[in-house]
Amino acid sequence: SAAQTAKVATKFTPTKADYQKVYNRIAEVIDDASDYDDGSYGPVLLRLAWHASGTYDKNTGTGGSNYATMRFEPEALHGANAGLHVARGLMEKVKKEFDWISYGDLWTLAGVCAVQEMAGPKIPWRPGRIDGFVTHVTPDGRLPDATQGAPHIRDIFYRMGFNDQEIVALSGAHALGRCHVDRSGFQGPWTFSPTTFTNDYFKLLFNEKWVWRSWNGPKQLEDKKTRSLMMLPTDYVLTQDKSFQKYAKAYAEDNELFFKDFASAFSRLLELGVPTQQFVAAEPWIMGDEA
């Protein structure tokens, strides 16, 4: 019909400038957090982008950021995703304003925005993810379990297609945010500046003495000096495993190297599971340079 033709003819094709508007809106949401945690929604949004992408399995091609399956049960209820309803709720408001963006693009762009607005490196990103269905939901157990050791970390990240160097670089995201007893059971921040992206996580891993915390919660470490910082067993493993340790030391000594390697690995993480032909641009964009 004529009405249908007209609708097709006016179909909105967003440009980079339109995605930049979404980015700017997310940046406002991140900062509007005076009563939340350390005063920023950045860390929990970064965790959303990571958990939305980190379900990828390179052998089956399933999981990853393409279909934003965390919108559905049971994935939303997987133990690893506890607390991420906060981040999804924040992005729901942005989605209402920019209804043309897919959830996968919105959540990964939020991760990019979080890193950049918290003074981290520029993360190359491009849109093209599509909203999937409940049939695309991934099985539980694809994200890392913080109580485990090096073999488990390798199993999980090799499945996504990452190597030891990339595992260590990505782990540096724990410079940001904190653990919540009511989400993971663990408690506390990794660094003294949990809303600023730095290589402090690696510096602290080597410069502080880490001892097991005595408490009723799951096994975690605390710094002997102030007892105000924490490390998960999987964080501490980066200092114990020979191959991980090499990269962790390099990042502790060279912030620029950490920024470069994190940006490259995180950019790739955010594209896991998205067929190349779906992307609207041949090369990822740098967002946030011009408003």
Residue nearest to ligand ZEM (CB): 177
Asked if residue 85 binds ligand ZEM (CB under 6 A), the reply is no
Identity of the residue, 97 or 155, whose beta carbon is nearer to ligand ZEM in the bound complex:
155
Which tokens hold the place of 172?
Answer: 């540096």
Does the protein bind ligand ZEM through residue 168 (CB under 6 A)?
no
DSSP reduced 3-state for 12: coil
Contact flags string 86-125 toward ligand ZEM, x per CB under 6 A: ----------------------------------------
CB closer to ligand ZEM, 176 vs 274? 176
179 binds ligand ZEM (CB under 6 A): yes
Q: DSSP secondary-structure letter at 77?
A: G
* Residue 171, burial from CB neighbour count under 10 angstroms (0-12, 13-18, 19+): buried
Strands (E), 27-145: none
Q: For the CB of residue 97, give the shortest distance to ligand ZEM in the complex, in Å.
A: 23
Cα-based distances in Å from 18 to 98, 108, 128, 180? 9, 16, 14, 35
Binding-residue total with ligand ZEM (CB under 6 A): 24
Stretch that binds ligand ZEM, among 11-19, 128-136, 181-189, 222-230 (CB under 6 A): 181-189
Among positions 216-235, residues that touch ligand ZEM (CB under 6 A) are 232, 234
**Rounded to an integer, what distance in angstroms lies between the CA atom of residue 270 and that of residue 252?**
24
Question: What secondary structure letter does DSSP report for 172?
Answer: G
Q: Which two tokens stand for residue 179?
A: 């653990």
SS3 256: helix
Residues 6+ apart with CB under 8 A from 202: 172, 238, 248, 249, 251, 252, 258
- Each residue 127-146 as x (binds ligand ZEM by CB under 6 A) or -, in order, gives -----------------x-x
Of 118-126, 171-179, 209-217, 250-258, the window that binds ligand ZEM (rule: CB under 6 A) is: 171-179
Which one of 51, 78, 136, 174 is the catalytic residue?
A: 51
User: Smallest distance, Å, CB 17 to ligand ZEM?
Assistant: 27
**Structural element, H or E, at residue 210:** strand 210-212
Q: Give catalytic residue positions.
A: 51, 190
